[in-house]
Amino acid sequence: MILRNPEQMPLPDGGDHRRDESDPAEADRRYTELLQELRVAQTGVQFLFAFLLSLAFTQRFGQLSDAQKWLYVGTLVIASVAAALLIGPVPAHRILYRRGLKPRLVAASDRMVRAGLLVLVIAINSAILLVLDVVLGGWVPFLLTGVTTAWFVLVWYVVPKTARQRPP
């Protein structure tokens, strides 16, 4: 087993910390960490998707305007895309299992998760817009959805990026 030289191998995320571990050990660790992170996102997207699926069968659904129905359809489709992306690393692992392709699996899964989280932000905020539009109507739902979208961007992107750039 050949260990990486910590001075020669920068981490893919640009971090300055190093570990003495083999490439397969690093891939195993990174995939395990990714799956741990995904547990929260997968559960969230599944609840959102289930909520959206059930809406069409409520009595009040027939009272939605055409615009609200199209917003619902778009939100449902976006939520399904988020679900596919966030659950995608699991079937990818099954397909690539014991093929010696763990580093590729980790890289592909990372891309799926990043895209899935982006689409999830859109799905969540589209669902917020739909519910607020039904409850409040007018321009307020757009304002409140803009605020929640900005909050997601701040908490999910800006804060981690800022923390990443600060020295430890």
Q: What is the pLDDT of residues 105-150, one digit of tens each?
A: 888 889 999 999 999 999 999 999 999 999 999 999 999 999 999 9
Structural domain including 119 reads 23-55+64-162
Q: Is 6 inside a domain boundary?
A: no
| pLDDT confidence of residue 9 | 43
> What's the DSSP call for residue 43?
H
Q: Is 88 inside a domain boundary?
A: yes
Arithmetic mean of pLDDT, 17-41: 78
| pLDDT confidence of residue 144 | 98
pLDDT at 98 over 50: yes
pTM of structure: 0.79
Q: Is 40 inside a domain boundary?
A: yes
Q: Is 18 inside a domain boundary?
A: no
Q: What mean pLDDT is reported for the chain?
A: 85
- pLDDT band per the 50, 70, 90 thresholds, residue 43: confident
Q: Looking only at Cα atoms, what is the longest distance across the chain?
A: 65
| pLDDT confidence of residue 7 | 40
Q: Is 3 inside a domain boundary?
A: no
Report the C-alpha gap between 148 and 162 in whole angstroms: 20
16: number of Cβ within 10 Å: 8
Report the C-alpha gap between 16 and 6 in whole angstroms: 10
Q: Is 17 inside a domain boundary?
A: no
Backbone Cα Rg of the chain: 20
Q: Is 80 inside a domain boundary?
A: yes
Q: Is 11 inside a domain boundary?
A: no
Q: How many domains would you assign to the chain?
A: 1
| pLDDT confidence of residue 6 | 39
